[in-house]
């Protein structure tokens, strides 16, 4: 191999590495754009088929706190990435699906229900959940820490208190 062909080959290799990095970066960017909202049925199916815990966000158009969460919590890049990679997520409008709101005993908005991949209810949270709390709670659920430690104890240990 002469020097010119060697340089050409190195240039082609460098271009391929850059192209590969661009593909990875594009996928990472895709994961960061928006939460991949599913319907209730899709989330239940995805949870089971993909082995992912399920997050049900009960909402209504008239709720200012729900709107705030949509604009803040669900626009946070870390939250988007974590939910898209680790959860089957559904936004359930209680006006459209009141039977689901009754099934999950939703009495205030927003209400978040966390289910295991089989659809078994684990816990719920009422009220606003900001980005940092969302990341903590979803980690607690995804890592199944609830099986050995209650949330407050885990949070205290994690915070170094």
Per-residue model confidence as pLDDT tens for the chain (161 residues): 555 544 444 444 444 445 454 444 444 555 568 999 999 999 999 999 999 999 999 999 999 999 999 999 999 999 999 999 999 999 999 999 999 999 999 999 999 999 999 999 999 999 999 999 999 999 999 999 999 999 989 988 887 64
Asked if residue 16 is part of any domain, the answer here is no
Burial of 108-121, coded b for 16+ CB within 10 Å and e otherwise, reads ebbbbbbbbbeeee
The answer to whether residue 89 sits within a structural domain is yes
Q: What is the DSSP letter of 74?
A: G
Q: DSSP letters along 141-152, please?
A: HHTTGGGTS-HH
Whether 58 maps to a domain, the answer reads: yes
Residue 2 maps to a domain: no
User: Domain limits at 58?
Assistant: 34-159
Convert 77-92 to b/e letters by CB count within 10 Å (16 or more is b). Answer: eebbbbbbebbbbbbb
H helix or E strand, kind and range, residue 135? helix 131-142
Task: Say if 68 falls within a structural domain.
Answer: yes
Return the CATH number at 68: 3.40.30.10
Domain-embedded: residue 1: no
**Is residue 116 within 8 Å of 80, Cβ to Cβ?**
no
Map residue 118 onto helix, strand or coil.
Answer: coil
- Cα separation, 143 vs 25, in Å, equals 26
Number of domains in the chain: 1
pLDDT of residue 3: 56
Residue 143 falls inside a structural domain: yes
pLDDT at 159: 75
Smallest Cα–Cα separation from 89: which of 153, 39, 156?
39
Residue 4 resides in a domain: no
Instruction: Tell me how far the alpha carbon of residue 104 is from its chain's centroid.
Output: 20
pLDDT of residue 76: 98
- Model pLDDT, residue 9: 47
């Amino acid at each position: 191999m002469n020097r010119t062909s060697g340089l050409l080959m190195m240039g082609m290799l460098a271009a391929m590495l850059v192209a590969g990095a661009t593909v990875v970066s594009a996928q990472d960017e895709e994961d960061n754009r928006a939460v991949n909202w599913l319907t209730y049925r899709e989330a239940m199916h995805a949870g089971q088929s993909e082995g992912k815990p399920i997050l049900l966000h009960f909402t209504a158009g008239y709720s200012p706190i729900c709107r705030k969460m949509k604009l803040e919590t669900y626009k946070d890049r870390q939250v988007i990435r974590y939910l898209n990679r680790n959860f089957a997520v559904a936004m359930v409008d209680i006006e459209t699906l009141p039977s689901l709101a009754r099934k999950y005993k939703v009495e205030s908005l927003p209400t978040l229900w966390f289910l295991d991949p089989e659809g078994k209810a684990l816990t719920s949270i009422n009220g606003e959940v900001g980005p940092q709390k969302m990341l903590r709670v979803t980690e607690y659920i995804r890592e199944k820490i609830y099986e050995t430690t209650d949330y407050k104890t885990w949070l205290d240990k994690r915070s170094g208190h």
